[in-house]
Structure 1
Amino acid sequence: MMNIPVSHFHSWERFSESELAAMLGEFAEYGLRLISLNSGTCARLSEEAGYRAQLQRECRSAGMAVLNCHAPHMPGWELNSPDGAVLKRHLRLLDSYAELGCETVTVHAGTNDGGEPLTVLRERTARSLEALIRRAETLGMVIVLENTIFPTDTPAELLGYLKRFRCDAFGICFDAGHANLMDGTPGKRSADMIEWIRRRWNGEVRFEADTLGRLLPDVVSCHLHDNDGRDDRHWLPGEGAIDWRRLLARLERAPRLRSLQNESEHFKYGIAPRRIADCFEKLLEKNAVAV
């Protein structure tokens, strides 16, 4: 099938040094040798001196490598924040990502939770993206903007940023679970969606016809996780409503695709590395990709 590397998220920041060594060793035991750093892990990199060296040391010891990372996106880190200190923190972290070997850095445009006009939020995000892309270019990394569930990062919004900042150091992180939520299907109604998603849309969710179809030419990386079509569950692929055979066949045609990222919530659901390995072996066919 696809000869594309697969990296795996975990809540690495939640582990003590000895626990981290044990968990990385278990991932390695089942052949899961590429990892992604999640938003919480990246926030800890920003807050804790010496944590980068610890990650490097434990990964090296386990024979693991960091391939991707997800920049912090929680309150206080949003790219469309009016606080200039937020962008400075993101820019400082880019050097840490590069030192760890990250190829792609996933970012969110930011939410609309504050109720400000989309035009204002868009320009703030654009200013942040411009600075991040410029710095990533010098470090040999790619900033990838993710589709989530907000009016601020619909396919139309993401395509606007792509047009504005067209370069090799900028692309899309296609999130399969978010697309499953936001793509309309026959009979799907706004009322079917979980309340916290409806709230972001003032009660009436605007569904998309085909998120992947619009973004495919610029998809550089992907987040793979499953859900029931109404809430952002982050289940393992195959446990929800996504047609994975069709989705992966379409992703094979993405001309810029360079990595896949397993973004299932392993810590939350207590998913063991052996189960992850079994899932992705079946999903991507044995020995078809580096996992």
Structure 2
Amino acid sequence: MTQLKIGACLKIAEIGTYRDWLFDTGRDIELQDFMSHAALTTDLEDMIVAARSALAGYAGRIGIHGPYEGLDIDNKDAELRPLITARFLTALQAADRIGARQMVLHSPYTLWYQNNIFSSPDYATSKLGRIHDILGPVVRAAESMGITLVIENIHDVRPETRRAMVDSFGSKAIALSIDTGHAQLARAMSGAPPVEDFVRDAGQQLAHVHLQDVDGHADRHWAPGRGQIEWTAVFRALADCDNAPHLVLELRDKAEIPKGFAWLQALGLAV
């Protein structure tokens, strides 16, 4: 099986701990400092300076996790939608200034949506219209910057629903992200397909993957090998992706990054 190079999600202050591992082979880095209100307002300039300093000399691929708390991309309040768009645009500008070429945003699709999709004739189209209202300007800005928005599964049950939403923009500046732990939780809690099937459904739209393991009960963000995920099947599907998605360990305990990497490496899955 093809062995895949993986990186990690880190805060700016944590990069130094894994600098040699990340920098020597240009492993993917996702910065997770640009999610909060403070990071995108009062602390923004300091964050950008710190990120540039921490990344000096790095030649690999960079992404950031965009903001999400209280920022539903399907917000039904027309007065709030422009505020959400503005926050995403600020994060996108921050990404551009530090050299990131991806920004992760959260999917708005849920089991509630899937079970109610036929409850009213315009349920799906109304939702998609609100999503375009919020994300349309962000997608256009991303196109001009050469950045790709990657939409991460959160409560998604059917992977094809999120894929169709991404396809509806008709833009190379928006693609799919898969969080392996979220997909496994959806399988355990809501009967979603296996994680491998999320990957195969995404196909050439897959641009980014959060690698984390779970027990099927909560969003643990454990190192691979501690939970339920069938990692060999997942990596077999990832190896078939021709567009080389960013692959990053997203672990709650950053001290477990070496352990998670070593476990995948021992299985012959990662380098």
TM bin, normalised by shorter chain, reads 0.7 to 0.9
State the TM-score, normalized to the length of structure 2.
0.79
SS of structure 1 residue aligned to 2:149: strand
The one of 154, 163, 168 aligned to 2:167 = 163
Greater Cα offset, 210-219 or 97-106? 210-219
- Which residue of structure 1 lines up, in the alignment, with residue 65 of structure 2? 70
Whether the 8 Å contact between 1:220 and 1:256 is mirrored in structure 2 is yes
The 2-side partners of 1:98 and 1:287 are apart by: 35
- CA offset at residue 107 of structure 1? 0.8
SS of structure 2 residue aligned to 1:236: coil
Gaps in structure 2 of 5+ consecutive residues: 117-122
Whether the 8 Å contact between 1:52 and 1:100 is mirrored in structure 2 is yes
- CA offset at residue 129 of structure 1? 2.6
1:193-232 to structure 2, matched below 5 A, reads 193=189, 205=190, 207-208=192-193, 210-232=197-219
CA 1:25–1:163: 2 relative to 1, 3 Å: closer
SS of structure 2 residue aligned to 1:36: strand
- CA offset at residue 35 of structure 1? 2.4
The 2-side partners of 1:206 and 1:243 are apart by: 16
- Which residue of structure 1 lines up, in the alignment, with residue 150 of structure 2? 144
- CA offset at residue 102 of structure 1? 1.3
Confirm whether residue 276 of structure 1 aligns to residue 257 of structure 2: yes
Whether the 8 Å contact between 2:62 and 2:99 is mirrored in structure 1 is yes
The one of 19, 26, 31 aligned to 1:28 = 19
- CA offset at residue 3 of structure 1? 6.7
Whether the 8 Å contact between 2:176 and 2:208 is mirrored in structure 1 is yes
1:182-261 to structure 2, matched below 5 A, reads 182-183=186-187, 193=189, 205=190, 207-208=192-193, 210-261=197-248
Gaps in structure 1 of 5+ consecutive residues: 13-19, 194-204
The 2-side partners of 1:50 and 1:175 are apart by: 29
CA 1:5–1:41: 2 relative to 1, 3 Å: farther
Confirm whether residue 131 of structure 1 aligns to residue 137 of structure 2: yes
SS of structure 2 residue aligned to 1:32: helix
AA aligned opposite 1:7: G
- Which residue of structure 2 lines up, in the alignment, with residue 100 of structure 1? 98
- CA offset at residue 64 of structure 1? 8.1
The one of 83, 90, 94 aligned to 1:85 = 83
The 2-side partners of 1:107 and 1:161 are apart by: 13
RCO higher in structure (CA 8 A, sep ≥6): 1
- Which residue of structure 1 lines up, in the alignment, with residue 34 of structure 2? 41
Query: Once superposed, what is the RMSD of the aligned Cα atoms?
Result: 3.2
**1:154-198 C-alpha deviation (Å, 9 max, x unpaired):** 423212213312332221101111111123xxxx6xxxx4xxxxx
CA 1:289–1:64: 2 relative to 1, 3 Å: farther
- Which residue of structure 2 lines up, in the alignment, with residue 6 of structure 1? 6
Whether the 8 Å contact between 2:153 and 2:183 is mirrored in structure 1 is yes
- CA offset at residue 99 of structure 1? 1.6
State the TM-score, normalized to the length of structure 1.
0.74
The 2-side partners of 1:85 and 1:2 are apart by: 44
- Which residue of structure 2 lines up, in the alignment, with residue 51 of structure 1? 47
**1:79-119 C-alpha deviation (Å, 9 max, x unpaired):** 2223111101211221210121212111113377x999665
Greater Cα offset, 165-174 or 209-218? 209-218
The total of aligned residue pairs comes to 250
